[in-house]
Chains A and B, each alone.
Chain A
Amino acid sequence: MKSLIPLFVLRILIGGFFFVVGFDKIMHPYQNFLYVVQAYQLFPEFLEEIVARIFPWMEFFLGLFLLLGLWLKWTLRSFLLIISAFLLMIAQALIRKLPIDNCGCFGGLFSSKIQHTFALDACLWVMVSLMLKHIVDTEKWSLDRYFLKTEK
């Protein structure tokens, strides 16, 4: 498939983005992200704690796997799931008109209004779907391809 940006470049960019955002979150006290999770008023208390502790690690590792091109099919599927969850969380916050100033999705790196983040997540969802659909192009310069060659 011929696209404006080669899919493997897109893969590296999106993977790198999630890797950095996840890294920033895990390097800061988890209470910062717990505050973000609480703002969406979606989970019971015990789940908020679990989500706040686990989610940044998921972002970090999935970002790393996407960046390196490791277990690409599964990684991309997981990304679709995660981004869908983001979209649902933001949509319910918008519908319920929750007083959320800043989506808090990017840790301490930068702030963004939830409406803008919703648009960004929708774009990411489309791009990840495209990568999954054209997995052969996405796999270029990936560890998956390296292991496929060496294991033959």
Chain B
Amino acid sequence: MKRISKPVATVLLILGCVVIFFGFKYFQCYSPAPSKPAVVAKLPQRAKGNPTAKIKIIEFIDFQCPACATGYEILNDYFKKNPDGMYIELRYFPLQMHKHGLTSARWGECSARQGKFWPFLDLLLKRQKEWSDLTDPLPPFRAMAQEAGLDVEQIKVCLQYPGLEKPIQSDVEEGKMRQVVSTPSYLINHEMIVGTKSLQMKLDGLLGIKTTAP
């Protein structure tokens, strides 16, 4: 039997890998499993904007991530200019590398349960540098909660609630299912965008603004 030569083997190897890769991707795309959920349906407390807007954004966020704070500011600027043209929904994605990522998400969830998610988040991200490096971030969290008009006693009770982490875990699982690995990650009209530079470029494109990316 004639043996194949090294160049032929190399080409076959490369082609084999490419075929396997695209086959895998094809099955990933067309498997019936987790469907792309409607952006609008759930989590009204962590959503804002016009549910029928043309630009629908899901953001996977870690409240301790510095780029997320920048991204939040950028997104808010666009939102203020187009409040009817955008719909934003936030999903928790606390990263393990951030020691207060989960704690801040728990506080975020408790603020959502009191209907004050956005005012609390505004403060939390604006003052991220003030609590990010602290060993105990609870005093600033309490102060910000008060400032946002939250009932701090109710938050204490909420933080004890055993099912509190369920929505956080479910968001993290959804993020993983959507192949989110870092924050901030956005799904803009179901297209994945990662980081603030790409976010600006994408929104500029959608809104017909000449690019202002740094």
Name A residues whose Cβ lies closer than 8 Å to a Cβ of B: 26-29, 31-32, 34-36, 38-39, 45, 60-61, 64, 68, 70-71, 99, 101-102, 104, 107-108, 111, 143-144, 147, 150-151
What residues of B have a CB within 8 angstroms of the CB of A147 in the complex? 5-6, 9
Contacts of B51 in A (CB 8 A): none
**Given A26-B21, A31-B198, residue A107 in contact with residue B192 (CB < 8 A):** no
- B181 at interface, CB cutoff 8 A: yes
Q: Which residues of B contact A70 (CB under 8 A)?
A: 6, 9-10, 13
Contact of B181 among A26, A61, A99, A107 (CB under 8 A): A107
| Least CB separation from B201: chain A residue | A45
Q: What are the 3 A-B residue pairs with the smallest beta carbon separation, nearest first?
A: A108-B181, A35-B195, A35-B194
A102 touches B198 (CB 8 A): no
Contacting residues, chain B, for A101 (C-beta < 8 A)? 65-66, 97
Residue B31 is within 8 A (CB to CB) of chain A in the complex: no
- Pull 22 A–B residue pairs with CB atoms less than 8 Å apart, ordered by A: A28-B179, A28-B181, A29-B192, A29-B194, A31-B192, A32-B179, A32-B181, A35-B194, A35-B195, A36-B182, A60-B17, A61-B14, A64-B17, A99-B66, A101-B97, A102-B182, A107-B181, A108-B179, A108-B181, A144-B6, A150-B3, A151-B6
